[in-house]
Amino acid sequence: MRIKVLSLIGFIFCFNTLCYAVAPADRVDMFMGVYGRSSCVIGPQLPHGSTNPSPQTPKGGHDGYDPAQPIRGFGQLHVSGTGWGRYGQVFLSPQVGFDPSEEGHDSPKSDEKATPYYYGVTLDRYGIRTEITPTHHCAVYRMTFPGGDDQHILLDIAHNLTQHIVPFVGGRFQGGEIRYDARESLLTGFGRYYGGFGSKLPYEVYFAVKLNVAPSEVKISDGGEKSLYAQISLPDGVKHVRLDVGISLKNSGNALAFLEKETVGRSFDAICADAKGIWNRTLGKIRIGGVSPEQEKLFYTSLYHSHVMPRDRTGDNPRWESDMPHLDDHYCVWDTWRTKYPLMILLEESYVARTVNSFIDRYAHNGMCQPTFTSSWDGPKKQGGDDVDNVIADAMVKGVKGFDPLRAYELIKYHAFSERSGDYLRLGWQPETGAIMSCSYEMEYAYNDFCAAEVAAMVGDAEHAELLRKRSRNWDRIFNPELESRGFKGFIAPRRENGEWIDIDPAKHYGSWLEYIYEGNSWIYTLFVPHDFERLISLCGGPERMAERLCYGFDNRLINLTNEPGFLSPFIFHHCGRPDLTARYVHRLREKDFSLTRGYPDNEDSGAMGAWYVFTSMGLFPNAGQDLYYLFTPGIPEAVLTMENGEKLVVKAPGLSAERNEVDYITLDGRRLEHPWLRHGDIARGAEIVFHLKKVRPKR
């Protein structure tokens, strides 16, 4: 395949100074991934902000919004890029006339504008312009009414996304309270809810809503678990209304304190400018050059989505008192350990340290730390293994400071010897017992064990390190060398404890928490041995045969990026001595599966897909949990990544073009590399990677 390089059009880029014709935050296309399975939220927020105000529509999907539908109103909490919804509460609907019913105030829209720091839309039914800008815990609204009479704002506390927008999720409102302080034009209260991805335990959302215009009247209607809303009536003739919403998952005091700290005494425009500045600094940590406007938008939108979730709710933990960081809404670590956290190590390693500290704190108070953590509750199910371990290992092998490695190892050791399944702990591998996902659990647990072994060795526990390394190699217990698919032999398959194989079709794609494999097939999961590729290649017939298998799998969509276990698959070509094929298939995946109009290959998954795009565009990709990066032809000619320590990672591909896109050799700080990979230590203090390219050879 020839790699298409898009030209630089209408864009000013100063490579040695931060100089843009368009600010980084304004390069983000907030409409990317909103429609369809990507499920990205269109509303604004701050990086890892607690709140994410956004419009909602009928048939809005798990992000709450369908661009083709009328706007129903605006919620303050959402989850982005997920396959199962949550939240959507503290729902606002500005109206002329008043209708509190769920479907009674839908409005066509016009003049919609969305950026990471601002959202604005005109509700054509009412002639009301609604604008939103975020702080970390608050949403600030500026509403422009026609200025007549009969003008109102509905504050609906019963409304929630999992009950009213995606009701098949099965969420429910369980009651709450609204209080009104007429002297302060302030409404406070809470709602109690259950439903959505993760724990089914109930959670509360507390709010403080303050208006800059004294309402002429506020009527509160409490129908128990069926309804709870306030009708906020405005004085006749009022045109301009500022409404601030503080949100807490802990208590009303926090909601009010957030409001007072983050919004009081500040104009809407000043708050918006601050939010824009924060995003410009965040996204400006990577500068790219030599790209088209479309490629530029794809890159910065992907980088933006890498900074949306999980939510930093430090100081707002509803479950226990702690001064440790509190990172909430992990949706889930099974997705994010592979790309998001490795990217954050390069951009903001203190955030990764905060995340690890939050894991340690959860284990200390909960006695557990599951990969899924929503509304500060651990989820009851695992998609993969104990993937928190992989984040910790990745941080430790790359030298991230700011957390206690011994306390982190306590958590990992608990997972390794208490949290894996009983059969796995007894046998050292996962047999098929009639339970679910035996194959994917085995492969995930094996890599968890490798990561745990790395950490054990680093803290001086040599005995357990050796035991865990040995157990990490037991994935071959479920490798059936005789199982054949599409002319290739050797795939993982369910195997009973007595050694009996269960016959499966390796090409069959399994669903969520069903049968033998989680959301994938044996073609993909057989390849998931990030610590043992050489042995896998040998079992599959050697490097040439493995390269043939990979080509066939990608060409026939048996291997894909619709879910995270496939993320590392194209980089196995490196282990076959064919980094040129890595570049070819990575480029194909990036071109076909990432689009401003179509979104991501599937759910964006809390920054996992976005970070995959960012890494591959720069021509390096992490084998997370290890300090290894694969190098291959980048998708952009030049990039400068500024690390938290101030050092710069410069990546260049001079002369990159459709005819010149195959790597001849690579230099690191002027020194020619002997292999197409490097270690984290090679770039941790800054580096310059230059891809020296040659003309494309005939297609294989």
Count other C-beta atoms under 10 Å from residue 436's C-beta. Answer: 17
Give, in order, the Cα–Cα distances in Å from 366 to each of 196, 388, 436, 464.
21, 15, 26, 24
DSSP H or E stretch at residue 129: strand 128-134
DSSP H or E stretch at residue 241: strand 240-248
Burial class (CB in 10 A: 0-12, 13-18, 19+), 482: exposed
Label residues 590-600 b or e (16+ Cβ within 10 Å = b).
Answer: beebbeeeebb
Task: Give the N- to C-terminal CA distance of the chain in Å, as an integer.
Answer: 9
- Predicted local distance difference test score (pLDDT) of residue 700: 52
Check if the beta carbon of residue 309 is closer than 8 Å to that of residue 331.
yes
- Predicted local distance difference test score (pLDDT) of residue 696: 84
Check if the beta carbon of residue 610 is closer than 8 Å to that of residue 656.
no
Any idea which residue has 């076959």 for tokens?
Answer: 576
- Which one-letter amino acid corresponds to residue 310? P
DSSP string for 447-490: HHHHHHHHHHHHTT-HHHHHHHHHHHGGGGGGEEEEEEETTEEE
Q: 439 preceded by cis ω (within 30°)?
A: no
The number of angstroms, rounded, from the C-alpha of 522 to the middle of its chain's C-alpha atoms is 25
Check if the beta carbon of residue 335 is closer than 8 Å to that of residue 600.
no
DSSP string for 379-448: -S--SSS-THHHHHHHHHHTT--SS-HHHHHHHHHHIIIIIS-HHHHHHSS----SSS-HHHHHHHHHHH
Strands 648-652 and 687-695: parallel
Any idea which residue has 């991934």 for tokens?
Answer: 33
Topology of the domain covering 286-695: GH92 mannosidase fold (3.30.2080)
Check if 35-281 and 286-695 are the same fold: no
Name every residue whose Cβ is closer than 8 Å to that of residue 489 and which is 6 or more positions away in sequence: 481, 482, 483, 540, 541
pLDDT mean for each 10 residues of the chain (700 residues): 32 40 94 96 99 98 97 99 97 99 98 99 99 99 99 99 97 99 99 95 99 99 99 99 99 99 98 99 98 97 99 98 98 96 99 99 97 97 95 99 99 98 97 95 99 99 99 99 99 98 98 94 99 99 99 98 95 98 98 97 97 99 99 98 98 95 98 99 99 81
Rounded to the nearest 10 degrees, the angle between the axes of helix 349-366 and helix 388-397 is 140
Task: Give one word for 649, left, alpha or beta, with left for phi > 0 and alpha for psi -120 to 50.
Answer: beta
DSSP H or E stretch at residue 209: strand 203-211
Domain ranges for the chain: 35-281, 286-695
CATH code matching the domain that covers 35-281, chosen among 3.40.640.10, 1.10.10.10, 2.70.98.10, 3.40.50.720: 2.70.98.10
- Predicted local distance difference test score (pLDDT) of residue 6: 33
Check if the beta carbon of residue 558 is closer than 8 Å to that of residue 523.
yes
Kindly calculate the radius of gyration of the chain based on its CA atoms and give it in whole angstroms.
26
